[in-house]
Structure 1
């Protein structure tokens, strides 16, 4: 239950800790101030009142006349009460007044009574005895009520001002290395790379970066092993297929030879898709490459995947470079052309559009196309929207390969309609100069 109440992020938990420390420091300061007021300030107040009584007694001893004493004290702002003017002692004083009475009685060696008049004029009446004559001093509260000493007030203001500033500074110093690590990982575009240890990082952050870099090294080693394995598998499978195709072409039975050649082409296509799918997400040892001459890459993709189908290319002048390897861009467009040939209708057009910081590569055809929901399903591995088409060399990996490669380049797959109303599917890639 307690863990569920805690914030999820490290920064939020750190802020909560600083807030609790600030509350604790404030409460401690208030307790210290109260203790100071209960000790030093109360003692000062008791001594001040005792001094007033002794002054009145000394003046009375020197003049021996209560009327004259009343006149002298009135000039000092203190009223002298005697006889029936003296209020009766309070039956229930506050703890503060009780402590003051005890301290003053001990200092004077005679009983002293305090009475607080809350109604205006607010006065503190101090009753004492002078030569067996009851007297009382009516002191304005503002004249004797002790204020908080300036040094203590300064320390409290310093505490309340420095504590939040120290908390903010500590929060920034602790969060800066973590933010550097998060920023370094977030800018990798799906290709985990080694992250530099941020400056001023503490030991925990250093260990975190070292563990992450160790994981990246292990993934890179596995990717190299996978690339070597895929290269060997590709050669070992395609070589027998090529021989089988050559032998079928030499067969005297034309119908049987044509069927074998078509099956070999389908098997070669499926094998190529499996190998391409296995290579999706290959990280390599460095950042993603740059595809400079994009129109040339698109022309190669059209020649490889759409030979004999009359596919046209529409690309403006000055197409910028995009983030991503040229071979991956060629594979993306090649798979989209394959789908357009297999499932769409001519004419098939490859179009390049520039919009802000992105470059959009569209493959449009005259077919019905896909909706957004169908696209999400088709981008899943081994999903065929029309199972009856699975025997033509398609295994449900084409759009999954396109989606995986586009995501690795920091792009995405989209579908829509071109200005002529034809279905189009394409990828949105980032311009290289904005990477």
Structure 2
């Protein structure tokens, strides 16, 4: 039960740095304001309400005592005039009337309770009061022997304007403080977001050369470390690619000489086998170099995925594959087109090696763009699907290049997808065979 409550509370908490920072800043301020308001209600408003209620009850007691002492008409007229002029009270006498209802228990509300206590102490007669006579007035009715006296007073005799001023001050200052906090925290979070965006772009091969450290000292330090890491990675990849390119060139030279020597030899079973071995060696050298090079040197550019798929499927159709292409909606994204071409080509080549028919569907799926390849081949066992992404792993255990390839196709495909921030998933196709789902995130 406790873990469920904790998970529910965590789900309500903000997940972003800006939201959490504002929560950390505003929670103490909000608690301080709550404590201040409680103290105000407990002390200030209680004191003010008590004093105002006693003052009004004292004026009512004076009017009642005066009428009890001087019940004649002349004194009554003088009291009406004097009470209206000096105490803001309107007095009306209702002869032979009886109070239909009396206030015998304190009503709910701080002001009502204080007025009930004050009238009970000073008037000592049956009374009834209505604080909501209208928007500006209240009424107090007191029972006499000869009838009922009605006293109407302004509501401001019981309610202090300082209460509303205090609440307006609290609310206004809170809004100003919260607004300033939001502005400052957004300025502090912005460099972190820029750093995260730059790291994501660099991971997808987008040029981030204009990135400059900014913000707090810790954020600048992280940005500087990121730039140093970026330079080291770029330098390492350049050196690796140059080394492999040199090795490839050095290997191609003796392979070319071997091909020339073999071409000059008379055809025989041994010579033909050597020729095939040289061709396989060239194919392996090209595959190894493509795997090691990855996306090195290729810059991201705005690419129409629909057109790219159409071109790749067209090449596969010319090579004899049976492919059904359906593009639900095309999309232009910042991609490395050659890298994505290698990814799509390797997936379709694997399908063409083991299946007779291939279906390719592409379209938006929420925040991603998905390309789904469904074939009718034998598929891949569930416990081997992660293994096929390892370099040089082949389900076909022989080293025959004609039947199993080099074992780098799916490795290159996943590296390319992850280089674009996406992923390659292997699943069961609905009609049997293998489903390869290429996911590319949109909006990075």
- Residue in structure 1 matching 2:393, options 363, 381, 384: 384
- Following the alignment from structure 1 to structure 2, what is the Cα–Cα distance between the partners of residues 195 and 243? 38
Distance across 2 between alignment mates of 1:262 and 1:362: 35
Contact 1:412/1:427 (8 A) holds in 2: yes
Q: Are 1:294 and 2:302 an aligned pair? A: no
CA distance in 2, matches of 1:41, 1:263: 103
Query: Is 1:222 aligned with 2:235?
Result: no
State yes or no: 1:31 paired with 2:57.
no
Return the alpha-carbon distance in structure 2 between the equivalents of residues 218 and 328 of structure 1.
25
Partner of 1:151: 161
Equivalents in 1 of 2:233, 2:349: separation in Å? 27
Out of 342, 365, 370, the position equivalent to 1:331 is 342
Deviates more, 1:17-26 or 1:177-186: 177-186
Q: Relative to 1, partners in 2 of residues 1:21 and 1:400: Cα closer, same or farther, differing over 3 Å?
A: same
Q: CA deviation at 1:261?
A: 5.2
Deviates more, 1:261-270 or 1:148-157: 261-270
Q: 1:320 to 1:27 in 2, by over 3 A?
A: closer
Contact 1:352 1:359 in 2 (8 A): no
Distance in 2 (alpha carbons) for counterparts of 1:195 and 1:150:
64
Distance 2:398 2:273 in 1: 17
The unaligned stretches of length 5 or more in structure 2 are 1-6, 81-90, 94-114, 130-139, 141-152
1:235 paired residue number = 245
3-state SS of paired residue (1:336): helix
Of 136-145 and 163-172, the range deviating more from structure 2: 136-145
> How far is 1:370 from its partner?
2.8
Does the Cα contact within 8 Å between 1:269 and 1:394 map onto a contact in 2? no
Contact 1:361/1:427, CA 8 A, preserved across alignment = yes
Q: CA deviation at 1:401?
A: 1.6
- Is 1:406 aligned to residue 408 of structure 2? no
In 2, Cα distance between the equivalents of 1:34 and 1:426?
66
Task: Report the CA distance shift for 1:224/1:296 in structure 2 as closer, same or farther (over 3 A).
Answer: farther
- 1:55-102 CA deviation, whole Å, 9 max, x = no partner? 889x6xxxxxx9635888999699xxxxxxxxxxxxxxxxxxxxxxxx
- Inter-partner Cα distance in structure 2 for 1:297 and 1:226: 33
Secondary structure of the structure 2 residue equivalent to 1:124? helix
**Aligned residue runs from structure 1 range 66-81, under 5 A:** 68=69
Q: Which runs of 5+ in 1 are unaligned?
A: 60-65, 79-115, 127-135
Q: 1:373 to 1:195 in 2, by over 3 A?
A: farther
TM-score normalized with structure 2 length:
0.57
SS of structure 2 residue aligned to 1:28? helix
Distance, in Å, in 2 between the alignment partners of 1:164 and 1:333 is 57
Distance in 2, matches of 1:341 and 1:43, equals 94
Spell out, residue by residue over 1:145-193, the C-alpha distance to the aligned partner (whole angstroms, 9 max, x if none).
9976432221243146436644664565356554796489469564265
User: In structure 2, do the counterparts of structure 1 residues 55 and 230 end up closer, same or farther at CA, with 3 Å as the change threshold?
Assistant: same
- Residue 355 of structure 1 and its aligned partner are, at CA, apart by 3.5
2: CA distance between counterparts of 1:54 and 1:419? 95
Encode CA deviations 1:128-160: one digit per residue, 9 max, x unaligned: xxxxxxxx8559585699976432221243146
* 1:125 is aligned to 2:121: yes
Q: How far 1:245 sits from its partner (Å)?
A: 2.6
> Where do residues 334-413 of structure 1 align in structure 2 (5 Å cutoff)?
334-340=345-351, 344-345=354-355, 347=356, 353-355=361-363, 367-370=377-380, 374-379=384-389, 381-382=390-391, 384=393, 386=395, 388-389=397-398, 392=401, 396-409=407-420, 411-413=422-424
Structure 2 Cα separation of the partners of residues 291 and 68 of structure 1: 101
Pairing of 1:250-269 with structure 2 (within 5 A): 250=261, 265-266=279-280, 268-269=282-283
The answer for the alignment partner of 1:12 in structure 2 is: 20
**CA apart distance, 1:28:** 0.7
Query: How many pairs does the alignment contain?
Result: 363
Distance 2:116 2:309 in 1: 96
TM superposition score normalised by structure 1: 0.58
Compared CA separation, residues 403 and 27, structure 1 to 2 (3 A): same
What is aligned with 1:132? Answer: none
